[in-house]
A = this chain, B = another copy of it.
Amino acid sequence: MKNNIRIILVNPSHPGNIGAAARAMKNMGLSCLYLVQPEKFPHPEAVYRASRADDVVRNARVVATLDDALVGCTHVFGTSARDREMSAEVLDVREMVTMIMQQPQKTKIAIVFGREKHGLYNDELRRCQYQVKIPTVADYSSLNLGAAVQVIAYELYVAQGGARQADQPKIDPATADEMEGLYQHLEKIATQVDFLKPDKPRKMMPRFRQIFNRARLDKEDVNLIRGLLAKIYRKLK
């Protein structure tokens, strides 16, 4: 299952942290690392801090946007210590791991980590179906990036020691890119009927994201909704 779990670092500023994350992953049997616009990469410090996990660093995929990193993933977990307005369902690490263990082997899972200083921005966290919190004391909740990856990789590894539940849900979950397609379609229709005003978008799209994240749409659901939207579009013309 380990190849199905993608660790995504968004805009990491310190190459040392990339190396530390790679090492933490390899210790726990993970190898799939995505970097969204790293500030300095490739960089010798990343290789040095990775120690014997330099292969994970060298095989890291560098992409331009979080959406690029999420392509194909059906389960997206965003790590954040802060509570957000309009946020996704909040889980602690062990709850996340329990949920992951219940998925079929091939389920593509993304775990997203934000910038060292500022974490994930709201629009990034809205692309995640779940917000994951690492339990900490209340007044100092910000872990080092590599340390955060270590805790989560460790929990994943320990959880695999137990039996994985075998029963496969018969659903074929929508991928992150399919979901983005749905949101764009919905946004277009909402704009067309003047429900969404581009200069005053308010919270409409974030709220729809929340709703459909909670609903965990499968491919057929997306097709159904987009089918309705397409019909509406044709009638409006």
Verify if A59 is at the interface (C-beta below 8 Å from B): no
Q: Mark A15-33, 1 if CB is under 8 A from B, else 0.
A: 0000010011011110000
Q: How large is the interface on A (under 10, 10 to 19, 20 to 34, 35 or more residues)?
A: 35 or more
Question: Quick check: B23 and A193 within 8 Å, CB to CB?
Answer: no
Question: Quick check: B51 and A235 within 8 Å, CB to CB?
Answer: no
With A166-B90, A224-B204, A224-B208 in contact, is A232–B144 under 8 Å at CB?
A: no
- Kindly state the separation between the CA atoms of A224 and B24 in the bound complex, as whole angstroms: 43
Listed residue (A147, A190, A207, A234) with the most chain B CB atoms within 10 angstroms of its CB:
A147
Minimal beta-carbon separation of A125 from chain B (angstroms): 14
Question: Quick check: B147 and A235 within 8 Å, CB to CB?
Answer: no
Question: Quick check: A162 and B147 within 8 Å, CB to CB?
Answer: no
Residues from chain B with a CB closer than 8 A to the CB of A164 are: 92, 135
Overall SS of chain A's interface: helix
From B94, B144, B207, B227, give the contact of A224 (CB < 8 A). Answer: B207
Verify if A231 is at the interface (C-beta below 8 Å from B): yes
- Kindly state the separation between the CA atoms of A80 and B164 in the bound complex, as whole angstroms: 14
From B26, B142, B224, B234, give the contact of A140 (CB < 8 A). Answer: B26
Q: Mark A129-170, 1 if CB is under 8 A from B, else 0.
A: 001011111101111101100110010011001111111110
Question: Quick check: B52 and A140 within 8 Å, CB to CB?
Answer: yes
- Kindly state the separation between the CA atoms of A231 and B214 in the bound complex, as whole angstroms: 25
Residues from chain B with a CB closer than 8 A to the CB of A162 are: 135-137
Interface positions of A (Cβ within 8 A of B): 20, 23-24, 26-29, 49, 51-53, 83, 87, 89-94, 131, 133-138, 140-144, 146-147, 150-151, 154, 157-158, 161-169, 189-190, 192-195, 204, 207-208, 210-212, 214-217, 220-221, 224-225, 227-228, 231-232, 234-236
